[in-house]
Amino acid sequence: MDIFFYLLVLSVLGVNSQVIQFTKDIAQDEAPKFTEMYFDQFVDHFNFKSHGSATYKQRFLITEQYMKEGGPIFFYAGNEGPIEGFQKASGFLTEHAPKFGALVVFAEHRYYGKSLPLGDKSFMVDNLGLLTIEQALADYAYLLKYLRSKYCSKPCPVIAFGGSYGGQLAAYLRFKYPDLIAGSLSASAPIYWISGLGDPHGFFRSVTDQFAKSSQMCVNLIKQAFSETQKMADQGKYADISSSFHTCKQVNSSTLDHLYKWVRNAFTSIAMVNYPYPSDLLGPMPGHPVDVACSKMTSASNVVTGLANAAGVFYNATAVTCYNIFEDFVDCADPTGCGLGDTSTAWDYQACTEINLPQGSTGKTDMFPLLPLTPEMRAEYCQKKYGVTPRVDWLDVQFWGANISSASNIIFSNGDLDPWGPGGVHTSPAPSLVALEVIGGAHHLDLRSSNPKDPQSVIDVRNQEANIIMQWITDFYER
């Protein structure tokens, strides 16, 4: 690379060459100020007859606060929920935007938040067919065309970001629209598992492994607690089980498995947000919640009480008097559970169509009871609820599966404390596909705002990511 041109790019962006020496002390003086905006988006990008030229209002959050002439667009590909939640959980973009002179945009995924293609009729079963990854990516492409024409006086680079499902979308944007996306940071995206590749029971094994890193004794006690609870059920002691777990309604033989899934969901969520500081991504949680849950297990008077107390680390943030296990956890096509409302319906439908989510726990390769969710069980559920059958090989065809070596300019980051981590990219299949490991990092920790309790590894990974992104921007202007 011509070093003069590199310095020229840095000069255009209003920064000096030390931008390549990113440090923790990077946060801007003012908190980011986002404006809520709406873009007229096509209801259906691919069937010209189904809805013709009808449009809907796609929501996005935008800040020009850090934008400088010649700077890039930092574009977050929204995932399965209202966009403001992902904006709050992705401080990496706004912390680095001043150094890059970036326009920062968080785009909301169709069928989530306020971005409803058919308004209050969007969730009628016959209208859910417009909810696909392909439609969402096309939404983002049209929105980016608009943003580039409005905010860039000449062609400017777009860097896509996303965490988890959003990280999957960020990678797919680079696959599908390399003319629009100069590079993507795909954080904690289990793109292999989601494509139906690898161990279908690997997720709950991975959750177990995360707890074992805290304490193997904790894992042993959790297994023992489930066994003791089952013995109580076999003796008909459902009142005692309900009392131990503080359920609002008494558990019985037909709802015992639901209680088990409710507990399993708590441990799954705790493992995902095992950050070194308090967080509220999935609800208010303490720092190092896996350690906190394990301390509940080891300090309890008996293992069943310990299991209930450990689950309460996730569910008892608001000091509830009893647990409504049927509202806290809703059975669906996702074995990690769905909640209530339209957002849960949307994700459930996606799990019934394109997205391959884990099968159930085995009781052997993990610390949970045997709670199966076979492909046949999922297909039966999806047919009954939505009239669709999951197409388990579709993402392997449409978005390349494991054969991604022909792609370029994507960072795949994964934390070694993230239960989704084993389903992602851990080796670099091509020179410009970079796999980064965050030691001591849970689910997309690197996308979150800097924190004094961050492990050094995430600081180092963020520096690497920022340097790679700068290289992409330099290459864009050099071409």
Q: How far apart are CA 246 and CA 231, in angstroms?
A: 18
Residue 2 has pLDDT above 60, yes or no: no
pLDDT score, position 444:
98
Tell whether domain 3-196+396-478 is in CATH 1.10.3720.10. no
Mean pLDDT across the stretch 94-112? 98
Half-sphere CA count of 299, side-chain side, radius 13 A: 8
d(CA 25, CA 105): 23
pLDDT tens, position by position, 452-472: 999 999 999 999 999 999 999
pLDDT band per the 50, 70, 90 thresholds, residue 16: very low
Structure tokens that stand for 92 in this block: 């990496």
Cα-only R_g, the chain? 23
Strands 55-63, 103-107: pairing is antiparallel
Closest C-alpha among 20, 6, 7 to residue 464? 20
Kindly indicate the confidence band of residue 29, based on its pLDDT and cuts at 50, 70 and 90. low
- Residue 11: per-residue pLDDT: 42
Q: Catalytic positions, please? A: 164, 418, 443
Q: What is the pLDDT of residues 267-294, one digit of tens each?
A: 999 999 999 999 999 989 999 999 999 9
- Whether the per-residue pLDDT at 92 is higher than 90: the answer is yes
Q: What is the pLDDT of residues 53-87, one digit of tens each?
A: 999 999 999 999 999 999 999 999 999 999 999 99
- pLDDT above 70 (res 196): yes
Nearest Cα residue to 137 out of 103, 93, 102, 178? 178
Q: Band of the pLDDT at 318, cuts 50, 70, 90?
A: low
CB 453 within 8 A of CB 287: yes
Residues of the chain with CATH 3.40.50.1820: 3-196+396-478
Shortest CA distance to 232 belongs to which of 215, 252, 247? 252
Checking if the pLDDT of 17 tops 90, the result is: no
In the chain, CATH 1.20.120.980 sits at 202-386
- Residue range 147-170, pLDDT digits in tens: 999 999 899 999 999 999 999 999
Of the candidate ranges 4-13, 232-241, 280-289, the one whose mean pLDDT is the lowest = 4-13
Given a cut of 80, whether residue 315 has pLDDT beyond it is: yes
Mean pLDDT of the chain: 93
The pLDDT, as a whole number, for residue 298 is 95
11-25, 119-133, 298-312, 335-349: range with lowest mean pLDDT: 11-25
Angle at 199 between CA 193 and CA 200, to 5 degrees: 70
Chain centroid, CA 455 distance in Å: 21
DSSP 395-459: HHHHT-TT--TT--SEEEEEETT-TTGGGS--S-SBTTEEEEEETT--TTGGGSPP-TT--HHHH
pTM: 0.93
Domain 202-386 carries which CATH code? 1.20.120.980
Provide the total of helices (H) and of strands (E) in the chain, helices listed first.
17, 8
